[in-house]
Structure 1
Amino acid sequence: MSPFSKAHTRLAALRADLTGDAFRPEDPGYDNARKLFNTRIDRHPAVIAQCATTADVVHCVRFARDLDLHIAIRAGGHSPAGMSLNDNGLVIDLRRMRTVTVDPGSRTVRVEGGALMSHLDQATRPHGLATTGARNSTTGVAGFALGGGTGWLDRAFGLAVDNLLGVELVTSDGSRIRATDHENPELFWALHGGGGNFGVATALTLRLHPLPEFSIALLTYRPESGRDVVRGYREIIEAAPPETGGGIIRTQLVDALLTYPGPAQDLRKLARPLLALPHEAVVLTPLPYAAFQRILDSPPGLRNHSSAESLTGLPDEAVDVFCELGNVMPVPATTRYSLFPQGAAVASGPDRFPVPFRDARWTVHPFGMWEDPADDRRCVQWVEDVRAAFRPWSTGAVCLNLVGDEGADRVVAGLGAGNIRRLAAVKAAYDPDNVFRFNHNILPR
């Protein structure tokens, strides 16, 4: 009997053990449970287990190991390359585990493995606290943080991994462990970028920072003004207080976004050069960070392909390349093509972790989104063209959160060639059989 058939035969016993639920392909709810943010991905797991407790996760890992089923881990579910699903295996779906507990006294937060950015931000907002989150409120906290974590607040508060204080894991043999600076410290080091390679992260503890005020300036321009806008934005960032963030976002128009953890009147002074350029619209206002996070969310239900390059700088030649490729962007109504400033707290963060993109000055992030399968080839090619065009200014590193399944070389670029041997040793210690392989995979050695 195949592992697939055995899984269905023993599914009743698994369901009896679970607080949550489990689906097989013929069950109502299965197709909805396997839907991903990226509709290009169409995979059919043998079983999707929607876990509600850590004990559920333990049961699922042991179930899969007993039946020799591959395991994929689904936390938030963005997973642009579909790494949170597999074919004919088990999916451990954590999205029912989304409790967020804030300790304002210690300025920390415990976030369960299935919580989204929106859950984290709403929980911390009443306390005037925040931490670096993704640029979409629907992104899962666990995958984001364990993969590096660059977002709107990273220049102020550092990368998400810089704020990681502890991880609760279920390992490949079904054990429950905790990783901190003092408990399993080598594993804790590896989790700063190594993602889901070492176990199922059932909860994370993150450092919080005071954020009593937050303001944005969002200006919209015609594409023909693009070069002046990007150059002006670059000059503002280079002279602004280091906690200033944001980015250039190209769709059908050009958006220049400045974010600032402070009052709007201070941001208005910073934005003067952009305000002086002819623009179509402007929003300059104080805004709760949790509310802002939802404004620029990418829509679900589309086909997509994305990648990124970390840049040494943004000279005029790179600005020209950005604008030229924006003018030939396929399906501009939904595609997002962005330039994000880095540096500041990102660059000054701890250098002991496997995060090799820390020295980048900018990141370019082409994120193609479209509806018609007939557009697949040209949209994917455009993303690759952007990467190729920016290679003259690439640092050679990349934040793995921003890329899909691009091969082993890109995993090395995301973790650092000098770190791979050490990471492989940690993988061998905690997942010697590479049970957790549906990720930016590190082979055990």
Structure 2
Amino acid sequence: MFSAVQPSRRTFLVGAGRFAAASALTSVAPFPAIAEPRPHRIAASALKDLAGAVQGGVVLPDDPFFGDYARPNNLRFQTLPTAIARCASEADVQACVAWVRKHGARFAVRSGGHNYAGFSTTPGLLIDMTPLSAITALPGGDGLVKVEGGALNGMVYQALERLNRTVTHGRCTTVGAAGFLLGGGIGFNMRMFGMGSDLLQATSIVTADGALHADIQNSGEGSDLFWACRGGAGGNFGINTSFTLRTFPVETVTFFDITWTTDVGEVLYTLLTRLADAPPEFGSKINVTKPARGSGDPRLTVSILGQLHKCGTTVEAILGPVLEKASKTRIDRDIAYWPAQDLLSEFTYPYFYQEKSSYMRAVDITPEAVAAMIRLAERMPGTSMANAFKFFQVGGTINAMAADATAYVHRGYDWLFSSEVNWWNRKDPKSLVDENLAWQERFYATANATTRAVGAFQNFPDPSLKDWSSAYYGGNYARLRRVKSAYDKADLFTYQQGIKPL
């Protein structure tokens, strides 16, 4: 069993994330959430009952670590809970579900707390899964690994490094593995191995009736629930206590990080259309970055970051002549896989942000569409932080699966597009933030209209989306509602954009 606690760079980053979160809250003033929750009172006697039932402990507001445990990654949603139950076992999870059902208490479940829309915050009971975080290599020699429901990505990385294995994984070490997997899970390996959720072989989940459905799979009892857990997003069907993942042996990769400061529109168009034909071993993310206000240089830059697994070609051959226009080029060949992930990793501290996403096909991207995006990006008011619009390269193995094979419906696309607005409320007045958010809506609408982009990534939840069920789940939403009705007819697990029972 791997507990992923021995010191390493990834362990340090996980710990540093919690330290940064504590520092960030003391350095910024509160910014109102989009929808302030109503006050929620829980009787002292009820909390006493909970403390007696949860072996991992219950943390109350007078605890010095309360704010650290409760703080979300998106500081727009600084709703503090009444209490935090720290689940150290599946029995603790079952006790929490029984308790919220008995007392009618509002609640949310979290591990990493990175939900973009604050759906893992609550004024009631916060069910903290992070103590339940063991990672186990299963016997049999078939490369299966079991990850408990509270593990963070950084813990998973460290355990897999010891095994010389990998999966589809993200860049941020402090993201919870559960939320990552349940909503699809993107990363530089996804074009080669599939979405993170595609690698899920089994999961255990406590449903609204308190029952533990252990190691449900793609066939047999609970197969409908298993289907829903592969892209149906967290917080809808129960509390997942473990995930069994298919893994792959690691090899050396080529790391690349390339930036262009001139002809950004032409470069962006070339990348978005040319890379659609790249082999599945090529994984990349393109950023178009707007510098922070007052930085002295308002120009946009285009950059591409990623890796290439061995496949008989090179980064230079894939990118072609556009590489000659780059202002900064770093291409490192034959790097051991996990040290390369240190170069690709992203450390994020809590701040204020809004993100919007959609999916694009390269065939629908025209020079005129890219030019329209560039013009609007140049006119972004900007904030005290750098902002970007991004393209995560999808396709490859992802598109080999049918849209209804799992709950993750977004197949047949080349790019996951995302527009962000980042800010610090102490440095950016609300009027400026509102101006940037209004700009973002115009930019998003223009980008979607000119490229025929559709849908939205359920792991980038957007509270401003009107038709969110269609955007996140498309034609799979009707089946997801049937699964919801079968396991949570009373809608115990509910939130603003939660799947609704029939």
TM-score (norm 2): 0.81
Q: Give the equivalent residue in structure 1 for 2:242.
A: 203
**1:401 Cα deviation after fit:** 0.8
Pair 1:396 & 2:454 matched: yes
Partner of 1:137: 173
Q: Out of 111, 115, 121, which is 2:157 matched to?
A: 121
Retained in 1: the 8 A contact 2:94–2:211?
Answer: yes
Quote the offset at 1:408 in angstroms: 5.7
- The match for 1:427 among 481, 484, 488 is 484
- Residues 421/400 of structure 1: CA separation in 2 closer, same or farther (3 Å cut): same
Give the Cα separation in 2 of the matches to 1:254 and 1:144.
27
Q: Distance in 2 between matches of 1:391 and 1:235?
A: 16
Quickly say closer, same or farther: Cα 1:308–1:84, change in 2 above 3 A.
same
1:420, distance to aligned residue in structure 2 (A)? 2.3
* Distance in 2 between residues matched to 1:219 and 1:415, nearest whole Å: 34
**How do 1:335-374 residues align onto structure 2 when only pairs under 5 Å count?**
335-351=387-403, 352-372=405-425, 374=429
- TM value normalised by structure 1: 0.91
- In the alignment, which residue of structure 2 is the partner of 1:302? 351
Distance 1:408 1:275, change over 3 A: closer
Q: 1:427 to 1:265 in 2, by over 3 A?
A: closer
Once the two structures are superposed, residues 390-418 of structure 1 have per-residue CA deviations (whole angstroms, 9 ceiling, x without a partner) of 222234222211233234611222111x3
Within the candidate set 299, 305, 319, 1:257 is matched to 305
Alpha-carbon distance in structure 2 between the residues aligned to 1:160 and 1:228: 32
Closer, same or farther in 2 for the Cα pair 1:298/1:395, shift >3 Å? Answer: same
> Per-residue deviation at 1:425?
1.7
Q: Give ranges in structure 1 of 5+ residues lacking alignment.
A: none
Q: CA RMSD in A?
A: 2.5
1:276 has 2:311 as partner: no
CA distance in 2, matches of 1:192, 1:391: 26
Q: What is the CA deviation profile of residues 74-131 of structure 1, one whole-angstrom value per residue up to 9, with x for unaligned ones?
A: 02211111100112x2111111222122348212211111112222122112333211
Gaps of 5+ in 2: 1-37, 292-300
Q: 1:303 to 1:444 in 2, by over 3 A?
A: same
The equivalent residue for 1:405 is: 463
Q: Deviations over 1:198-249 (max 9, x none)?
A: 0001111111123312222111222x33123223323541342222110211
Give the total of aligned pairs: 441
Structure 1 residue 267 corresponds to structure 2 residue 310: no
Tell me: CA distance 1:209–1:322, structure 2 relative to 1, closer, same or farther (3 Å): farther
Structure 1 pair 379–290 and aligned structure 2 pair: CA distance change class (3 A): farther
Structure 1 pair 279/142, CA: closer, same or farther in 2 (3 Å)? same
The AA in structure 1 aligned to 2:127 is I
Equivalent of 1:215 in 243, 254, 259: 254
CA distance 1:138–1:379, change in 2 (3 Å)? farther
Cα distance in 2, alignment partners of residues 271 and 59 from structure 1: 54
Alpha-carbon distance, 1:365 to partner: 0.8
Does structure 2 conserve the Cα–Cα contact (< 8 Å) formed by 1:145 and 1:160?
Answer: yes
Distance 1:259 1:315, change over 3 A: farther
Contact 2:278-2:318 within 8 A present in 1 as well? yes
Q: In structure 2, give the amino acid aligned to 1:317.
A: E
Alignment of 1:39-438 (within 5 A): 39-87=75-123, 89-103=124-138, 105-178=141-214, 179-181=216-218, 182-196=220-234, 197-222=236-261, 224-251=262-289, 252=291, 253-262=301-310, 266-294=314-342, 295-297=344-346, 299-313=348-362, 314-329=365-380, 330-331=382-383, 333-351=385-403, 352-372=405-425, 374=429, 375-392=432-449, 393-407=451-465, 409-416=467-474, 418-438=475-495
Q: Identical aligned pairs, as a percentage? A: 29
Change (3 A) 1:69 1:287: farther
Amino acid corresponding to residue 488 of structure 2 in structure 1 = D
Following the alignment from structure 1 to structure 2, what is the Cα–Cα distance between the partners of residues 439 and 207?
32
